[in-house]
């Protein structure tokens, strides 16, 4: 069923605490933890606790939880001290765009100059 945990999903395993992660924030519907391979001084992943393969699928199925992910991303930027200098919220969608984990997640990146357009 849509939203149910998937046995073969890395981020479902992190939610289930089967794989450790450095958690920075948790809410009823979301979990945020540091990326294992950071691309910026601040690089935090925000995931919904429900499983959907990408951000648009999440928003279509459970729009309130998609909003929760965005709100948490903003709170993390503030807590990490990058809200004022600027930060980026990225949802890679599809392998051609660099998505490697097919459980919706926001990258919150900041603490360095961020080029536009991104590569
Ligand atoms: P994507 O490439 O799908 O947009 O992002 C997946 C992200 O998950 C990558 O930035 C990658 O470094 C991160 N990642 C992959 N495996 C792990 C892990 O086991 N723990 C953590 N904290 N991050 C991971
Ligand atoms: Zn999952």
Condensed to tens digits (0 to 9), the pLDDT of residues 50-95 reads: 999 999 999 999 999 999 999 999 999 999 999 999 999 999 999 9
Half-sphere exposure of 27 (CA within 13 A, CB side): 18
Distance 18 CA to ligand 2 centre (A): 12
The answer to whether 69 and 25 are in contact (CB under 8 A) is: no
Distance 64 CA to ligand 1 centre (A): 24
The answer to whether 32 and 24 are in contact (CB under 8 A) is: yes
Q: What is the pLDDT of residue 2?
A: 83
DSSP label at 1?
-
33 lines ligand 1 (CB under 6 A): yes
pTM for this prediction: 0.98
- Ligand 1 atom 24 nearest Cα: 36
Is 105 a catalytic site residue? yes
The stretch 34-53 carries a mean pLDDT of 98
The stretch 3-28 carries a mean pLDDT of 97
93 lines ligand 1 (CB under 6 A): no
The pLDDT of residue 119 is above 90:
no
The CATH homologous superfamily to which domain 10-110 belongs is HIT-like (3.30.428.10)
61 lines ligand 1 (CB under 6 A): no
15 lines ligand 1 (CB under 6 A): no
52, 103, 105, 107: which is the annotated catalytic residue? 105
CA–CA gap between residue 57 and residue 94 (Å, rounded):
12
Q: Which H or E run contains 71?
A: helix 63-79
Query: What is the three-class DSSP state of 55?
Result: helix
The answer to whether 52 and 45 are in contact (CB under 8 A) is: no
Average pLDDT of the chain, as a whole number: 97
């Amino acid at each position: 069923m849509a939203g149910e945990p998937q046995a073969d999903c890395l981020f479902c395993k992190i939610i289930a605490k089967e794989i450790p992660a450095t958690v920075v924030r948790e809410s009823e519907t979301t979990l945020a933890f540091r990326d294992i391979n950071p691309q910026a001084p601040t690089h935090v992943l925000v995931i919904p606790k429900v499983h959907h393969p990408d951000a648009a699928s999440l928003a279509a199925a459970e729009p309130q939880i998609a909003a929760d992910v965005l709100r948490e991303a903003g709170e993390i930027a503030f807590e990490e001290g990058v809200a004022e200098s600027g930060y980026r919220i990225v949802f890679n969608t599809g392998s051609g765009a660099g998505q490697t984990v097919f459980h919706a997640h926001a990258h919150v990146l900041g603490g360095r100059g961020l080029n536009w357009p991104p590569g």
